[in-house]
Amino acid sequence: MREAFHDQLDGIFVDLAEMCGQVEVAVNRATAALLTGDAGIAEQVISADREIDTNRERVEDNAFALLSLQQPVAGDLRTVVAALRMVSELERMGDLSVHVAKIARLRVPNIAVPESIRETMVRMAETAEDMVRRVKAIIADRDVEAAIELGRDDEIMDQLRRKSFAELLGDDWAHGVEAAVDIALLGRYYERIADHAVSVANRVVFVVTGEMVSRRDN
């Protein structure tokens, strides 16, 4: 009976890793739509989000079934509860990708990112996607060392966010209020994707070690 329970528990983490892979694709496509002004790619991101939502429901249903039917002991209970928190964060990362895609779609046939700030936004997008890719492996392998390293590397995103604000507020910003609002929102969306990735990684640490990790500890 316990072996079957642990197989089901491992299955939840497989589903979480697969869901993280879907988020990675969403971030990638949303960025492509943003940088090319391609409404078709933006629509793909928006439509695919329903599948991420469906997968969240499946993971939650499986987790609640384990809680109600298997009476997990302390360590297993910790894992199930952490999985429920993680799936919520992954869904939110997908939602943030949709927000990026909607800004891209809104500005078609124009491109929302002015050329003067394109390099910074590209780096933010690449950093966010890299962190999602890495957290997918962290979930699959339950890799504590990689999870802690991801938290430390989040400072890169924080630096890029500060850089984007400095560019927006500079005297040479010549793209108007609408573009400034778009860039401020986009920066926030990519930053939050990174934050959620770190939070998911920290929950993996909690599952493996039983110890909570705060961002100050990373």
Work out the number of other CB atoms within 10 angstroms of the CB of residue 6.
13
pLDDT surpasses 80 at 214: no
C-alpha distances out from residue 42 to 108, 179, 184, 191, 206, Å? 10, 18, 19, 20, 35
> What is the per-residue pLDDT for 210?
84
Whole-model pTM: value is 0.92
109-130 pLDDT tens trace = 999 999 999 999 999 999 999 9
Sequence spans of domains, the chain: 2-217
Please indicate whether residue 10 or residue 22 has the higher confidence score (pLDDT).
22
Task: Look at residue 215 in the predicted model and tell me its pLDDT.
Answer: 56
pLDDT of residue 77: 84
pLDDT tens per residue across span 60-73: 999 888 888 766 67
Which comes out higher in pLDDT, residue 8 or 120? 120
Class of domain 2-217: mainly alpha
